[in-house]
Amino acid sequence: MNAIAISKNTRFRRCALVAGAVLLTLPCLSGSHDAAPQKPAAPQTPRNQGLEQAQIQPQTPAPAPAHARSRHHWYEIGRASWYGSIFQGHETASGEDFDMNAMTCAHRSLPMGSMVKVTNLRNHKSVVVRVNDRGPIAESRIVDLSYAAARMLGFSRRGTAPVRLELVSGPQLAQMAFPDSSR
């Protein structure tokens, strides 16, 4: 092989390694104030008064800045695969029947019923799916998506894709528009 020519797999692995390193160092560079609690400042006295004359006011802690109050959200990066017609109608770990045309997924540890935003890192398409099964079976995968979710993300023909999973909760979930499932 030519020294300059690099296979696509090697290039992808290098990019994934660099991206992983960057993601691991971002929390360290964000300037988080959680690392070391600061001691309250000593009360200041006016220069023209002695200690006995100075009124020491009780200090109230300043409210935490907005970025310190917000909690870090959960995410996971890895490879996704999909499953479809072979499992159609079979019972999932949640007890419901698997529907390959529903927007669902199988994850090893997230609670059943969790809503997860899945983003294909190749084309940046995103969908929100509901966890209704346990899996994937393959150790190299982080999630198994239904055929419908894989089709929406654009990798149903390819079989697998690099993805980012983000847990959707609270206000994000309340603002989502879900299709009418009564049809």
Instruction: Tell me if residue 67 falls in helix, strand or coil.
Output: helix
Q: How far apart are CA 38 and CA 139, in angstroms?
A: 43
Tell me: pLDDT of 85 over 50.
yes
Q: How far apart are CA 136 and CA 59, in angstroms?
A: 54
Tell me: pLDDT of 161 over 70.
yes
| Half-sphere exposure for 173 (CA within 13 Å, toward CB) | 11
Helix boundaries (H) for 60-180: 66-69, 147-153, 171-174
Count of residues making up the chain: 183
Domain ranges in the chain? 75-174
Task: Say if residues 82 and 161 touch (Cβ distance below 8 Å).
Answer: no
Mean pLDDT, residues 157-183 taken together: 77
Q: pTM for the complete prediction?
A: 0.57
Band of residue 97 on the pLDDT scale cut at 50, 70, 90:
very high
Tell me: pLDDT of 28 over 70.
no
Q: Which residue has the higher pLDDT, 32 or 24?
A: 24
| Half-sphere exposure for 111 (CA within 13 Å, toward CB) | 6
Instruction: Tell me if residue 123 falls in helix, strand or coil.
Output: coil
The predicted structure's pLDDT at residue 56 = 47
Q: Three-state SS string across 156-168, please?
A: CCCCEEEEEEEEE
The predicted structure's pLDDT at residue 66 = 53
The predicted structure's pLDDT at residue 25 = 65
Cross-strand bridge partners of residue 82: 145
Q: Which CATH superfamily is domain 75-174 in?
A: RlpA-like domain (2.40.40.10)
Tens of pLDDT, residues 35-58? 455 555 555 555 555 555 445 445
φ and ψ of 149, to 5 deg = -65, -40
The predicted structure's pLDDT at residue 170 = 72
